Amino acid sequence: MEHLFLALLVIIMIGALASGFPVAFALPGSAIISIGLAAFFGYLFAGDPSAYFAVDGPKEWLTAGITNFRSNYWDVETDTLIAIPLFIFMGIMLQKSKIAEDLLVTMGQLFGPIPGGLGISVIFVGALLAATTGIVGATVIAMGLISLPTMLNNKYDKRLASGIVCSSGTLGQIIPPSIVLIIIADQLASAADVANTMRQTDYKILTGEFNMPGEFRVGSTSAGDMFLGALLPGLVLVGLYMLYIFVYARLNPKAAPPVPFKGNFDSKFWIKVILVIIPPLALIFAVLGSILMGIATVNQAGSIGAIGATMMAGYRLHQGKKNAYYPIIISIVSLIPIYFLSKNYNLNIKAVDTRDLGAILIALFFTITFLASVVWSFWRAFKIDDVLKEVVVETCVTTSMVFYNFTRSSNVNLWI
């Protein structure tokens, strides 16, 4: 009978998900309903609520689920998860400030004249959004709102257009910095700690010694290692998506017709392409490069991405005005001397040397100017169309759903 209620759990879960019920409530709800039904029928037909449970009873299973839920929030040493809201903030800021839309329009103009070119540009922009947002839902919604009407208006096949949006959106699962990879790295670290504790206990019982040799310990994987391992497969997947669209458009021209560019491919157009593409690519390189090269931790890289996205939004929201690029120019001009001074002088104020005092004061001046440019960009995002408020609210909602889905998924796996 245990297998019957396990099958019932899977059926209820699939039905709830297929009906559009929120994942955060479908997973725990299906588990609780299945446990309740098993206890009810066990009491009804066998006189024992635990009769149809392979191990323990409904009380123990529900208690185990609640304990697992609480442990995810009470673990004060899980600092890796701090990077999740930072990466979400970065991606949503790029979407709300229309930078993602500019990318899609520009790439569509660049690749549009070739068969399937608009679809290829959607995949490219989806990959860039995946490397900033890290959340599948946010990427799919953004690509659906921006690109799907454009493809349908240009007579793309509905099935192909929908498939392009869904495939480009799911790139957020694998292309770093992926939120899923951060969570997996955190779970692997927790599992490694539990395994090492158990091994330590067994080793002490068998040998009587307190210190277990290092070769018996279970190793873990950091979020940076996860990013490094997922980078190449993610790029390969992007290339395969683009190749599929290109070949499909050649075999079936009516499904993905070319979209002629009405303008001219002159110097102004190429300058526009550079100004639209280079900043997001530079931001992605700064975030991933700092992690993969060991310059910054995942949390620090997330902070870099959030600040960089806000500074990009600062000039995009002020587009067309003379002072639009002032904050980002000031920040770049400030970072160059700071980098030069940090390489040639000791800027550690805890060990001040009179010979480095002048360098420290200069670095302090440029640090203040850099912070001023950052505050300026945040102020623009706050004042113009309440962009900053919308981004913060959506970041809070998305982060809450990510953690809730994460804990609920852990619980349903435990109950299964």
Per-residue pLDDT reduced to its tens digit, 150-176 = 788 888 888 888 888 888 877 877 887
Residue 288 confidence (pLDDT) above 90 = no
CA distance 92 to 391: 6
The verdict on pTM exceeding 0.75 is: no
Q: Contact at 8 Å (CB) between 312 and 99? A: yes
Q: pLDDT tens across 116-131, in order?
A: 888 888 888 888 777 7
pLDDT at 3: 75
Q: pLDDT tens across 327-366, in order?
A: 989 999 998 998 888 888 777 766 666 667 788 888 889 9
Q: Which residue has the higher pLDDT, 366 or 205?
A: 366
pLDDT at 243: 92
